């Protein structure tokens, strides 16, 4: 049987940093208020001439180097993003051109903050069916492009960035299981009201924070149980939790569910803010490169996002 495993990781953050002190000059907020409620201290913001495909490119180059492969070895590119450069072609196709790769399939997935989990699940299935052997999976977003910086309730949350992994066919299990879900009944609680087909006066993020928070904690609780049960594992079998970086309180609630100390949770929300589909691969790359996550570790990745979408991936790194 063919399995898939992560052969390399990479990430990229724009140079510009927007701190809470900077936001104090823009909206009616304070550093203390932001940190207390979200855990965020700063976030990175893409330059005006820097686009989602650019962030994806730099993260991909780092992942390719980490995996010790050539770009030509990649036979599928999947980019998870909510903020594509263009309506079309896909950001994946733009990334493909930047990497100098020809002919392999390339497409985007849109599941907002759950996008990387959805993309990794898709890549895993391509490998298991023999349709691909080496997949570049990227989560990249420029959330600053759809943020209203006069809206004190949610402009504090969002940042820009990209993370990438190389997923390869293997005779040894790497991805142990994945679980993805969606419930469109709650779409209006977290959305951008305007799009290509449907026009609205508001084209930035709209969010009912308290309702989203409650739903996120509830669904992530359930996804932890689902993942453990599917693999016949106990909570103590999980070495690391790499969650979507939305809010420190959600991360703490999930860690509590796993009976896990916060020092076993990879936390980047304080420095990155919420980078949507980039959050998990950014955090994963940080923990791999600083030596926390090592080969053989059981790593649980989970996310919740607009749609609503949510899901998890359990890997043996």
Same domain, residue pair 201 and 289: yes
Same domain, residue pair 159 and 181: no
Strands 206-207 and 190-191, by their bridges, are: antiparallel
pLDDT for residue 179: 98
Active site residues: 113, 244, 274
Same domain, residue pair 160 and 206: no
pLDDT (tens digit per residue) in 113-163: 999 999 999 999 999 999 999 999 999 999 999 999 999 999 999 999 999
Same domain, residue pair 80 and 113: yes
pLDDT (tens digit per residue) in 52-101: 999 999 999 999 999 999 999 999 999 999 999 999 999 999 999 999 99
Give the mean pLDDT of 267-272: 98
Residue that finishes a domain, picked among 106, 137, 170:
170
Q: How far apart (Å, rounded) are the C-alpha atoms in residues 215 and 221?
A: 10
Residue 201 pLDDT greater than 90, yes or no: no
Q: Which of 9, 33, 10 is nearest to 21 (CA)?
A: 33
Cis omega before residue 89 (within 30°)?
Answer: yes
Residue 215 pLDDT greater than 90, yes or no: yes
The pLDDT-based confidence of 174 (bands split at 50, 70, 90) is very high
pLDDT for residue 161: 98
Same domain, residue pair 229 and 81: no
Q: How far apart (Å, rounded) are the C-alpha atoms in residues 158 and 39?
A: 12
- Tell me the percentage of the chain whose pLDDT exceeds 70: 100
Same domain, residue pair 100 and 213: no
Same domain, residue pair 266 and 196: yes
Give the mean pLDDT of 244-263: 95
Same domain, residue pair 153 and 220: no
Same domain, residue pair 270 and 311: yes
CA distances from 61 to 68, 70, 255 (A): 11, 10, 32
Q: Which domain holds residue 47?
A: 3-170
Lowest mean pLDDT among 136-140, 253-257, 299-303: 253-257
The pLDDT-based confidence of 1 (bands split at 50, 70, 90) is confident
- β-sheet bridge partners, residue 170: 3
How many domains does the chain fold into?
A: 2
Residue that finishes a domain, picked among 170, 187, 219:
170
Same domain, residue pair 164 and 196: no
Q: Which of 81, 121, 312, 120 is nearest to 219 (CA)?
A: 312
Q: What is the mean pLDDT of the chain?
A: 97
Same domain, residue pair 287 and 182: yes
CB 143 within 8 A of CB 272: no
Same domain, residue pair 54 and 70: yes
CATH label of the domain that carries residue 71 = 3.40.47.10
The pLDDT-based confidence of 305 (bands split at 50, 70, 90) is very high
Residue that finishes a domain, picked among 170, 205, 222:
170
Structure-token match 């993260």, residue found: 59
Give the mean pLDDT of 41-52: 98
């Amino acid at each position: 049987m063919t399995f898939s495993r992560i052969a390399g990781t990479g990430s990229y953050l724009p140079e510009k940093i927007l701190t809470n002190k900077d936001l104090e000059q823009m909206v009616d907020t304070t550093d203390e208020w932001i940190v207390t409620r979200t855990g965020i201290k700063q976030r990175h913001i893409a330059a005006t001439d820097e686009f989602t495909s650019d962030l994806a490119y730099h993260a991909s180059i780092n992942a390719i180097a980490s995996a010790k492969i050539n770009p030509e070895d990649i036979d599928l590119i999947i980019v998870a993003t909510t903020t594509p450069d263009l309506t079309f072609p896909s950001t994946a196709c733009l990334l493909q051109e930047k990497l100098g790769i020809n002919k392999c399939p390339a497409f985007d997935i849109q599941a907002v903050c759950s996008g990387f989990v959805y993309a990794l699940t898709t890549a895993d299935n391509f490998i298991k069916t023999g349709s691909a052997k080496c997949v570049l999976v990227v989560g990249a977003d420029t959330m600053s492009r759809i943020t209203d910086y006069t809206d004190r309730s949610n402009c504090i949350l969002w940042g820009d960035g990209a993370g990438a992994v190389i997923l390869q066919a293997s005779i040894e299990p790497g991805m142990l299981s994945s679980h993805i879900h969606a419930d469109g009944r709650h779409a209006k609680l977290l959305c951008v009201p305007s799009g290509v087909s449907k026009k609205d006066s508001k084209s930035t993020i709209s969010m009912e924070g308290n309702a989203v928070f409650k739903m996120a904690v509830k669904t992530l609780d359930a996804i932890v149980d689902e993942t453990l049960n599917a693999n016949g594992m106990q909570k103590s079998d999980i070495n690391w939790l790499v969650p979507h970086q939305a809010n420190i309180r959600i991360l703490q609630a999930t860690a509590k569910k796993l009976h896990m100390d916060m020092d076993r949770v990879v936390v980047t929300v304080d420095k990155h803010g919420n980078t949507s589909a980039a959050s998990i691969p950014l955090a994963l790359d940080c923990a791999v490169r600083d030596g926390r996550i090592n080969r053989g570790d059981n790593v649980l990745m989970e996310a919740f996002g607009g749609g609503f979408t949510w899901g998890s991936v359990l890997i043996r790194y």
